[in-house]
Amino acid sequence: MKTSKTTEAVLIILTLIPLLYLAGIYTSVADQVPMHFDASGNADRYGHKSELWIIPLVLNVSLYLLFKYFPKLDSKKQFHKMENKYTYVRMALTLFLTVLSCGIIFISTSNSTEAPVNWLYGLTGLMFIFLGNYMPAMKPNYFIGIRTPWTLENETVWRKTHQVGAWVFIASGFLIILSCFLLSNFAILFVVLGITIVIVLFSTIYSYLVFKKLNHE
């Protein structure tokens, strides 16, 4: 799957933004900065500022390389069937990770012992909505999508699971965003964790039931 030079350039620029942002403020950052926050957004671990480089390298650079070369590892060429949809997913995920990395770096270097993590949950909700919107266009593959033994075994099971899963993801995203306005940071964390568990269980059980039904027809 080929991506236009302009699109690839935009993806590279987005990937580099957190690194450039950190490089620009690095000398003015204190040697010891908050590196981890608890469920309520309070700093519970400090570390040397050099650890901040791990964030953009892991979240942005490594995932840029993974998403760029996923199609080359796809022996069944399913990514090609998604046409431009995979490019849209790459762009959205890259933008999501760029905002996430810059947000984490900003919080860790702002000399605050309490992080406003509700924005992170809201961003996660938006990502759920976006992924749900593109789920019906995803073709069977081993890298992205709802990958259970039954969706990977049968293309019909994959299609039906992703059609229904799309609505589950979208509804979950709106529920997460709504909880950001109504609940505390601590409570939102459990909402996100609970929704994630429900999605995993639903996807597994639903794909199995569809597979079982098809085998009995």
Q: Where are the domains of the chain?
A: 1-116, 117-217
Q: What is the pLDDT of residue 40?
A: 64
How far is residue 147's CA from residue 145's CA, in Å, rounded to a whole number?
6
What angle separates helix 185-215 from helix 155-182, to the nearest 10 degrees? 160
Q: What is the pLDDT of residue 112?
A: 64
Q: What is the pLDDT of residue 145?
A: 87
Q: What is the pLDDT of residue 16?
A: 95
Q: What is the pLDDT of residue 115?
A: 61
For residue 158, count other CB atoms closer than 10 A to its CB: 25
How far is residue 92's CA from residue 67's CA, in Å, rounded to a whole number?
12
How far is residue 68's CA from residue 8's CA, in Å, rounded to a whole number?
9
Query: What is the mean pLDDT for each group of 10 consecutive residues in the chain (217 residues)?
Result: 80 95 91 76 79 91 88 70 78 91 86 68 90 88 86 92 95 93 84 92 94 83
114-151 exposure pattern, b = at least 16 Cβ within 10 A, e = fewer: ebebbebbbbbbbbbbbbbbbbebbbbbeebbbbbebb
What angle separates helix 63-73 from helix 5-25, to the nearest 10 degrees? 160
Amino acid identity, residue 209? L
Q: What is the pLDDT of residue 140?
A: 85
Q: List the one residue out of 105, 107, 118 whose CA is nearest residue 58.
A: 105
How distant is the alpha carbon of residue 114 from its chain centre?
A: 24
